[in-house]
Amino acid sequence: NAGVMQNPRHLVRRRGQEARLRCSPMKGHSHVYWYRQLPEEGLKFMVYLQKENIIDESGMPKERFSAEFPKEGPSILRIQQVVRGDSAAYFCASSLEGLANYGYTFGSGTRLTVV
């Protein structure tokens, strides 16, 4: 029973390139969340998705960032034209339903380094 799978674990991109981060939720989980963690900081909410729907993207920067969770396949967080400030750890979490009774299950994260 695999947990939340994220890949790649580490990603290095030059400024201006695109970064694609993938997240496969736990089996049976239809709710996916993306969080970003800057060095020495706690996690910051970015976006909440269900299959084929963006429920809340209030934590996403308005430009260059997008997320999707298609009917088939993993959720993708896409960052276009990356800048040094995008360097961070990006975590995906999934849940069976809302958070009322359960915590999140997090993946191990993708550490993005922009050079």
Partner 1 sequence: SQQGEEDPQALSIQEGENATMNCSYKTSINNLQWYRQNSGRGLVHLILIRSNEREKHSGRLRVTLDTSKKSSSLLITASRAADTASYFCATDTSGGSNYKLTFGKGTLLTVNP
Query: Residue 33 is encoded by which pair of tokens?
Result: 């969340």
Taking CB under 8 A as the rule, does residue 28 contact partner 1?
no
Taking CB under 8 A as the rule, does residue 75 contact partner 1?
no
Taking CB under 8 A as the rule, does residue 98 contact partner 1?
yes
Q: Which of these segments, 15-23, 63-71, 77-85, 88-96, binds partner 1 (CB under 8 A)? A: 88-96
Q: Is the dihedral of CA 102, 52, 8, 111 positive or negative?
A: negative
Taking CB under 8 A as the rule, does residue 7 contact partner 1?
no
Exposure string of 12-41, with b = 16+ CB inside 10 Å and e = fewer, is: ebeeeeebebbbbbbeebebbbbbbeeeee
Taking CB under 8 A as the rule, does residue 105 contact partner 1?
yes
CB-side neighbour CA atoms (13 Å) of 92: 31
37 three-state secondary structure: strand
Nearer to partner 1, 40 or 72 (CB): 40
Taking CB under 8 A as the rule, does residue 104 contact partner 1?
yes
Residues at the site binding partner 1, with contacts judged by CB under 8 A: 4, 6, 31, 33, 35, 40-45, 48, 55-56, 91, 93, 95, 98-109, 111
